Structure 1
Amino acid sequence: MRRSRFFLFALLAVLATGVFLVLDGCSVSDKKSADTVMPGSFPVIDEAYSIIQENAVYPVEGDMLVEGALRGMADVIGDPYSTYLSEEEAASHKESLAGERVGIGAEITRSGGKYIIVSPIKGSPAEKAGLQPYDEIVRINGEALGGLKLQEVVKKIRGKEGSALELTIYRPDLNKHLELKVVREVIPVKTVSAELMEVRGEKIGYIALTMFGDETADEWKKATDKVIKEGAEALIIDVRGNPGGYLRAVGEVAGSLLADDTVFAYMQNVKGELTPLVVEPSEKFSFDGKLKTMPVVLLQDKGSASASEVLSGALKDLRRGFIIGDVSFGKGTVQDTMELSNGGEMKLSTHKWLTPKETWIHGKGVNVDLASEQDKLFTEHIRFSTDVYAEGDYHEDISYAQRLLSGLGYSVGRDDGYFDESTVEAVRAFRMEAKVSEENIMDRKFFTALREKVESYRKDKENDKQLQVAIGYVHHLLSE
């Protein structure tokens, strides 16, 4: 096949596949036809391809040139949500929204050029094999990891279910290397968590959605069934930090809360034509439709994007729920994800989505009904550090620690990353309270204790300012 024909086919490949509409992280199916693409060839691409292949002093494989051209076509659109995904990237993207993954079940980070186990998931292959937080992965199947990106290390760890992985790890607490064998298993990806909170004699269902993936709708049903069966009188839905996902998933969640045949959003194509997205009958949600009538409060923040904004926009416009927190991210476009003949995919923004009142929230976000600022310890990204810092040092790790210490109530005079005398005093006081060896340094033991203290602080719902505001509002509704 001539190269020009390949590029034409890359554009036409949509006719052979169903289309995924992804609200980045919504998804509906559609069909494309060859009539939507101008027929013809692109001889200039042939020319450039031949010139580079025949004359470039730095040789480049033909497939790499093709990949570069595909990326270039997506990049020139100037839309951060339109992009070309290689076969490998496309697989990772699908996996991120899947209901399960195959792996060892451990969070890994890169710190100081080292690949560190943050924590193994409870009951995972990693935990069964004996992996512990702060273990450093040195070799995988006998191969050293020097110079690899974190993404490449993760790729080496993943594999087929039932296959074995040989890990050489360095354990700082023992000051020795260990050889561990881990068998890869299917790791479920849970996107919904729920609990019943009893506050001031009232029962409130709290449900958090981390994303809208393959299994979210089913998980949502189980979660809502659980809290309603336990006597929930109202519902708090938490989509803080939810980056989005599949439209079908958010559609089912919205459908369980809204009256049948309600328009929960609109899709708008390039011609400006609107297609209503209508809630379908939701027989699978039981309890005599209680979910459609009980008071609802939704918590969102600036990290709530895309599909989560579809939900908050619908609840707000239809006056079905009260929104508390911060203005959301503001992503109002929908992407078609189309397979290409080389195994890759072209993810392209093809529609806008609008709220039931036909508002486009792109770049603006969904406004809240009641603004509430969150405790800074809840917005700080918790990370690992394996380095050692002392008075007089300057580093971002020190700034990070200063912010956490200040949030925990220790007196720190600055948070610019300079290890001054006030930081020394705060570190000493924290280490004494945390029963870590009394030294005036930030080391692995210090960062581990600091992380555990902040995680414990976050688990206490009394410290979650936005949640407490939501609970207070629900109490007001139920006491009316």
Structure 2
Amino acid sequence: MTASQSRSPRLTVRHVLALSMALMIGAFTLPSPASAQQSTQQSSQPPADNDALPVEDVQTFAEVFERIKRAYVDEVDDTTLMRNAMRGMLGELDPHSTYLDKEAFQALRETTEGEFSGVGIEVGMQDGQLTIISPLDGTPAARAGLQAQDRILLINDTPTESLSLQEAVDMMRGKAGEELQLTILRDGEDTPRKVTLTRETIQTESVKHKMLAPGYGYLRISQFQSRTGEQARDAIAALREESKGKLSGLVLDLRNNPGGVLGSAVDVADLFLDNGLIVYTEGRLPDSDMRFTASSQTIAPDVPMVVLINGGSASAAEIVAGALQDQQRAVLMGTESFGKGSVQQVLPLPNGDGLKLTTALYYTPDGRSIQAQGIAPDVDVVRGRLEVAEGNGFDIRESDLENHLRNINGEADPEPQGASLAESDYQLGEALNLLRALNVLPRAQGGN
């Protein structure tokens, strides 16, 4: 008897559904010839031995299905049971793999393309609790002051501990104008708070820019959508034009950026790198192993940079931060990032539903996997506010007086960017200070 003959009877994955239908005494509807042909074409490669399933497990699945159909207190249709089974298969793998019904599949596409109806938060499961990864800029959630790591205890009156991630997302989505109440608990606080939000049609602009000070630009990327790389290129060109062709420094703000499209993250990193590896991925399938390198045509290869990250910087945001850090292209400032180092593929299904499946891990140029670890900044700067001490009443400067005489050189009044910037955004203020120091340092070294 050969080794293969000595094993207990086993079936390959491609035969599981057919056997289940035979065992369930007509509980399923047989697939159409077209779908069966598609399944055969997709399974044309001979399955590996470790893709086989024991007959006993298939029989157990069939028995559970039949008992639910016969004895559950409420009648449940076949489609619901099958979709629940598929959700269960994916839900137990990792927090990011999930079965998407038509509505959820469409919602995911809308988010990627930059328009959806909701309150504007990216959520995930952390330690079994529904947790905010980041609020999106300019959305009801951001205006209400919700923060990364806030735990959501209730959605309206429904405890989130009884919900799957997809169910929670579905409950928070809805028609524009409708109200949604979230009960959240923030780290360091003992009492939950209730926040009432009004859903909006959210058209997210993933890239914003402005000048922080003469010669110093600010580039904010709130998430990585399909056109983010192109928008970031345009923003940098606008900053160059505004600074008369000379950027002395740039702050790239990736705080509370939950990630998004892998290709867009590569495009953004490529704006600042003219050679070398940006990111590579490794998975079980050959087409999951990919390498992305920088091109020589780069819009800003030599501008001094500070990248701001925090606990809400995840996935594609970490790809950009990790590439710029490993290539020693930028200084990372802030707090440790979220630590999502996995890649998901979104696969459409013949019935209009979708499958989001984790297929690979990504690695920074130096070979770091940040999965469940995150990226540590080069300079730790926690979120805070600068409180300006009360003076003796003589804090007013000449430039503050109405109708004051302008400088004889014709220079414009300086913008209040020192203390005021640190007051409103301490981390950003420190980033600007570091960029200024980086520009002073070469001159000081040249004078020695």
* Range class of TM-score, shorter chain: 0.5 to 0.7
Counterpart pick for 2:114 among 99, 123, 134: 99
Q: Do the aligned residues in 2 keep the contact of 1:3 with 1:45 (CA within 8 Å)?
A: no
> Counterpart in 2 of 1:56?
72
Could you tell me which of 350, 354, 358 is aligned with 2:363?
354
| Aligned position for 2:86 | 70
Q: Which residue does the alignment assign to 1:90?
A: 105
Secondary structure of 1:311's aligned partner: helix
Answer yes or no: is 1:323 the counterpart of 2:338.
Answer: no
Corresponding residue to 2:221 among 209, 217, 221: 209
- The alpha-carbon distance between structure 1 residues 242 and 186, as it changes in their structure 2 partners (threshold 3 A), is closer
Where does residue 265 of structure 1 map in the other structure?
279
- Residue 216 of structure 1 and its aligned partner are, at CA, apart by 1.2
- CA apart distance, 1:337: 1.8
Is residue 250 of structure 1 aligned with residue 268 of structure 2?
no
Partner of residue 321 from structure 2, selected from 312, 317, 323: 312
Matched-pair contact (CA < 8 Å) for 2:90–2:98: yes
Q: 1:206 deviation in Å?
A: 0.3
Q: 2: CA distance between counterparts of 1:235 and 1:154?
A: 36
Q: Given the two structures, how large is their TM-score scaled by the length of structure 1?
A: 0.57
1:465 paired residue number: 426
Distance 1:296 1:91, change over 3 A: same
Task: Choose 1 or 2 for highest CA Rg.
Answer: 2
Secondary structure of 1:251's aligned partner: helix
1:460 shift after superposition: 5.0
Q: Report SS of the residue matched to 2:65.
A: helix
Report if aligned partners of 1:240, 1:303 keep a CA contact under 8 Å in 2: yes
Q: Tell me the distance in 2 between the aligned counterparts of 1:7 and 1:234.
A: 64
Can you list the C-alpha shifts for 1:413-452, whole angstroms capped at 9, x where unaligned?
xxxxxxxxxxxxxxxxxxxxxxxxxxxxxxxxxxxxxxxx
Give yes or no for contact 1:197–1:204 (8 Å, CA) kept in 2. Answer: yes
1:350 deviates by: 1.4
- Taking the TM superposition and a 5 Å limit, the aligned residue runs for 1:88-237 are 88-101=103-116, 157=175, 188-198=203-213, 202-231=214-243, 232-237=247-252
Name 2:437's counterpart in structure 1.
476
Query: Partners of 1:106 and 1:366 in 2: how far apart?
Result: 28
Structure 1: which amino acid aligns with 2:224? Answer: F
8 and 244 in structure 1: CA distance in 2 versus 1, 3 angstrom threshold? farther
Per-residue displacement from partner, 1:67-119 (whole Å, max 9, x unpaired)?
11011111232x11222222222222222221334x6x9879xxxxxxxxxxx
SS of residue paired to 1:304: coil
Tell me the SS of whatever aligns to 1:97: helix
> Do 1:194 and 1:208's aligned partners in 2 also have CA atoms closer than 8 Å?
yes
* Contact 2:304 2:435 (C-alpha < 8 Å) held by counterparts: yes
Cα 1:269–1:189 shift into 2, 3 Å: same
Of 35, 44, 54, which residue of structure 1 is paired with 2:45?
A: 35
Count of aligned positions:
323
Letter in 2 for 1:478: N
| Cα distance in 2 for residues equivalent to 1:345 and 1:464 | 40
One-letter amino acid of the counterpart of residue 219, structure 1: Q
Give the distance between the partners of 1:268 and 1:8, measured in 2 at CA.
37
Gaps of 5+ in 2: 1-16, 22-27, 122-136, 145-155, 160-167, 180-198, 390-418, 443-448
| TM-fit CA distance, 1:408 | 11
Give distance in 2, aligned partners of 1:360 and 1:106. 32
Q: Counterparts of 1:7 and 1:333 in 2: how far apart (Å)?
A: 36
Q: 1:334 aligns with which of 335, 343, 346?
A: 343
**Alpha-carbon separation, structure 2, partners of 1:295 and 1:32:** 50
Residues 120 and 202 in structure 2, CA contact (< 8 A), matched pair in contact too: no
Post-superposition shift, 1:212?
Answer: 0.5
Pairwise CA distance, 1:56: 2.8
How big is the alpha-carbon RMSD for the aligned residues of Structure 1 and Structure 2?
Answer: 4.4
Report which structure shows greater RCO (CA 8 Å, sep ≥6): 1
Distance, in Å, in 2 between the alignment partners of 1:107 and 1:195 is: 23
The one-letter code of the counterpart of 1:333 is S
The answer on whether the counterparts of 2:208 and 2:219 sit within 8 Å (CA) in structure 1 is yes
Q: Which of 294, 300, 321 is equivalent to 1:291?
A: 300
Secondary structure, in 3 states, of the residue corresponding to 1:35? coil
> Residues 35 and 47 of structure 1: is their aligned pair in 2 closer, same or farther, counting only changes over 3 Å?
farther
What amino acid maps onto 1:216 in structure 2? T
Task: Letter of the 1:73 partner, please give it.
Answer: M
Q: What does residue range 360-379 of structure 1 map to in structure 2 within 5 Å?
A: 360-375=369-384
**Contact 1:335 1:351 survives alignment (8 Å):** yes
SS in 1 for 2:45: helix
Structure 2 equivalent of residue 238 of structure 1: 253
**More displaced 10-residue stretch of structure 1: 186-195 or 146-155:** 146-155
The C-alpha deviation readout for 1:119-162, integer Å capped at 9, x for no partner, is xx99x9x9xxxxxx9xxxxxxxxxxxx9899967875525xxxx
Q: Are the counterparts in 2 of residues 238 and 300 from structure 1 also a CA contact under 8 Å?
A: yes
Give the structure 1 partner of residue 163 of structure 2: none
- SS in structure 2 at match of 1:359: coil
The 1:48/1:336 distance shift into structure 2, 3 A limit, reads: same
CA distance in 1, matches of 2:345, 2:382: 35
- Deviation per CA, 1:388-418, whole angstroms, max 9, x where unpaired? xxxxxxxxxxxxxxxxxxx999xxxxxxxxx
CA distance in 1, matches of 2:29, 2:345: 19
